[in-house]
Amino acid sequence: MKRKVFTFIDLFAGIGGFRIALERNGGRCVFSSEWDKNAQATYFENFGEIPYGDITQEDTKAKIPQQFNVLCAGFPCQAFSIAGKQLGFDDTRGTLFFDVAEIISRREPEVVFLENVKNLCSHDGGRTFLVIKSRLEQLGYAVFHKVMNATEYADVPQNRERIFIVAFNKAKVKNFALFEFPSQVPLTKTIHDCIDDGVTDERYFYDDARMSHYCELVDGIKSSDFVYQWRRQYVRQNKSGVCPTLTANMGTGGHNVPIILSSKGIRKLTPRECLNFQGYPASFRFPAMLSDAAKYKQAGNSVVVPLIDRICRQILLVIGCDL
């Protein structure tokens, strides 16, 4: 059946995870915004266009088309993350939601599709999330939300829990009550579907010269079927057999670095493998001159593409686009 084209805007676009998923389902991106220059370079590498910059600026907002169907935004989550200081709306990054709300108020799209960290639900005793939900409802939207793990809903072997918010314009989408988030699916993929055992680049491998606790790594990392992390004084095995949650600061070292045992030795994941654990297609690429630190940050900040894809399909069932 022919897919009906719908239009969307890609706010806080990062490297384009939302865009990949929505374009797979017939979507056409009519505006994108991302202020990080490195992320802009990766976006251009894959989509042939550079996103507009700071969405808090009026001249940027003015470039958004008057009409489009879906507003997508993986708005910055550091302000609510358990890995951060949890300042929420007291942190400038937390207030960026209100820039999203202002755009919604002006353009009144049929659907708002948001993603954030799981901790958004419980931050400040649930009051932060209530503010977001209430604002969307004040703007005339019916709000649905659910915390979903990539291992349970996307057949992706990464333990990544995120909250997804889907809001329908009640004046434009009369059958909004039919919306349901996708159901769970079995996890059939393993870490071996995401890991390239052919990696030989020495910069990703550990040895005595590069790791002061290398002996502890050797003692603690015994199986190629698990992903490990160094926890300051000991090696932690992810016993579930999947990859732990990828973070934006994987490239800075410390306990956030996923470590594996390959046939060629103990090493960290490559940036490309991190993209694999986010469900990015093999054709997706980083710019050649981008630093590994920037690549890890971009992968860690991104969304799980197959999960965005599945939620998108449920949205389209409601707004009348054929799949």
Return the active site residues: 77
Alpha-carbon distance 101 to 94, whole Å?
12
Tell me which amino acid residue 52 is: Y
What letter represents residue 255's amino acid? H
What are residue 77's phi and psi, to 5 degrees? Answer: -110, -5
Token representation of residue 217: 């790594």
Phi, psi of 144 (to 5 degrees): -120, 140
Q: Roughly what angle, to the nearest 10 degrees, separates helices 127-138 and 96-107?
A: 10
CA distance 293 to 280: 18
The CA distance from 301 to 298, in Å, is 5
Judge contact between 321 and 4, C-beta under 8 A: yes
Q: Sign of dihedral through CA atoms 273, 275, 281, 285?
A: negative
